[in-house]
Structure 1
Amino acid sequence: MTLRVGVVGGGQLARMMIAPAVELGVEIRVLAEDEGMSAALAATAVGDYRDAETVLAFAREVDVITFDHEHVPQDVLAALVDAGVAVHPGPAPLGVAQDKLVMRARMAELALPQPDWAAVADATHLQAFLDEHGGRAVVKTPRGGYDGKGVRVVTAATEADDWFAALAEDAGGGSLLVEELVDFRRELAQQVARRPSGEVRAYPVVETVQRGGVCAEVIAPGPRAEERVRLVAAEIGVAVAEGLGVTGMLAVELFETSDDRILINELAMRPHNSGHWTQDGAVTSQFEQHLRAVLDLPLGSTDAVAPWAVMINVLGGPATGTLDERFAAAMAAQPAAKIHTYGKAPRPGRKVGHVNVIGDDLDDVVYVARAAASFFD
């Protein structure tokens, strides 16, 4: 009998699950937010993921529900579980990914390394934190932020007054998250896959390059990542997955600090931008691995297939013309590059695709990847 996976959310992550699903003989269905989304090839329904009846009706046609994003409300997740639907990841770990204050508290309970932080309900508490941390800090909205949104570096408590006012208006109160401004030398990401029966596999730790709060490049494995860094990053990833009961793919974004600490920055419980390199650079891509994990099938090898892999995001796309018009030129100029597109119209700052290149020499791999991506600027 064919296994059926239902993905809530029709973005590019759902889109990139389609090919491995076909290869695994898995039937994939997508509940898309709107017509014409990235995963339209597999979209079997269009509806509001915030409506329990809509999601329940979709879930009745599949064997397991998983997600393209972490925004499905807890009451909808609870309704799925109450109806006997297999949901991976489940409501509890997703709740940690949905609220940064909850995430910080759970990481503290698990005794995992992270920046100094506090929940601040007003400007007085925020100023007290600033005074204790050299007059600078990072303020984050607990829910909804991504790709640099909902994040500010502040030097005065008044710089978050609008966010405090919005919390009071929208939620009748609440707190912002404030964190120490970490002195880091680079950002890393550790991906882990875990299936419901407990098997866990970790991918090589990677280095991520952020521009404007958005991931621009990923290098796998992270250059100059000595054995200690590799081991610590993997241990942190596995500890988060097991400690929270994550099922499916997990990405742990990390800081490597100037004083040689490895600290947890953010979590994502799904395939993640930092793992797109695995499509061409690992034995098992993160998208195939996610499907295996949520179906509780044996996990695939996470070994790299070449010494180096580089992923470059295509952000925004060309100012004129279409992405399609650039494909042939990019392919002809850089035949070693693998070009992945998301079926999205170009828009400033929007992730519309990525380029993967693998090889033996890092400088050459970086050059080819950047050269291929430049055709889509």
Structure 2
Amino acid sequence: MKNALFVAASAALVALAPTHAFAEAHEDAQAPKWSIAIHGGAGTLSPDSMTPERRAEYEAALQEALDAGAKILAEGGSAMEAIQAAIIPMEDNPLFNAGRGAVFTWEGENELDASIMDGRDRSAGAVTGVTTVRNPILLADRVRTDSPHVFLMGEGAEQFALERGFEVTPAEWFATEARRQSLERMKANAMSALDVDHKFGTVGAVALDMEGNLAAGTSTGGMTGKRWGRIGDAPVVGAGTYADNRSCALSATGWGEYFIRVGVAQEICTRLRIHREMHAEHAPTGAALASWRDAFSNSVRAHDQSIADEVMAEVKELGGDGGIILVTPEGHALYSFNTTGMYRGRATSDGMNEVAIFGGEDTGSGHTPDH
């Protein structure tokens, strides 16, 4: 019988307010809400260097992914189902650096990473260095639901996939000529991964369903020319992915080494949770709770945005760049990125449905901290 507004007032710490007060507020609660946000990478993007045709391709791909997830939520499906439905078409689309179209390692292979987390119980699954699984996000979720572990790597993850019935996808499915050329330019000109990749094409999705549950997922091919079994933030729970019904669901994209050092995903969600706990201590009881709940929901969005921006500023201070998407228990779908652009989209039960690429293109408050 939970809904998103009920969770917004109580999920932080139900024990901090009398349970009968929340029950009273629930009786006159509004209809349940849902919300979803997606990303397809962030980086140094310039409107001048993108043709109208190329832009239309990306916008169509983002809208397809966004619509797939939103449809599930609108029909009463779970956040976990929605984020996977949104991520799979991006994993299959060579425009993004995940699944098909993943970048090449120094040795000329496509190694795939993914993670997923359920905000209801903070169960999580992750895989890294897989090479034969078409949709790594599905394998990450299978690790979450059908293994005693959270994180599997390489051959072990591949063996687990085979034992759970995943088909072996040939290497040629993932490889694209554009990504191969990026590796060749990098080697020929002694360039860095940042020189050949003007954006981080990692994909991700976060969602709130009508039961008030949050979920997050992230999938990537890593960085061009990565060596020595390098692992970025995307498969690292707490760095690139995190979900907790008490605070937020978050997925990151960017220079993974810095997101790991800051612990971006959990850092933001933890700050949001603490803020909610502090306010729950002062929540009124009885009929006054409903109006308090609405006022809190309206004021907390700006606070949540500022926290996300602050953490992304920390990433920049250390030398990293990228961005994040997050959804809160109140249904706010937010962005923050310290780059010139991030491929992104969001949709809510309130009627918002938009995709964007460069900074300042959103109708909402998707912030771009100082570059």
Task: Verify same fold: TM over 0.5.
Answer: no
More strand by share: 1
- Quick one: higher RCO (CA 8 Å, sep 6+), 1 or 2? 2
Q: TM-score range by the shorter chain?
A: under 0.3
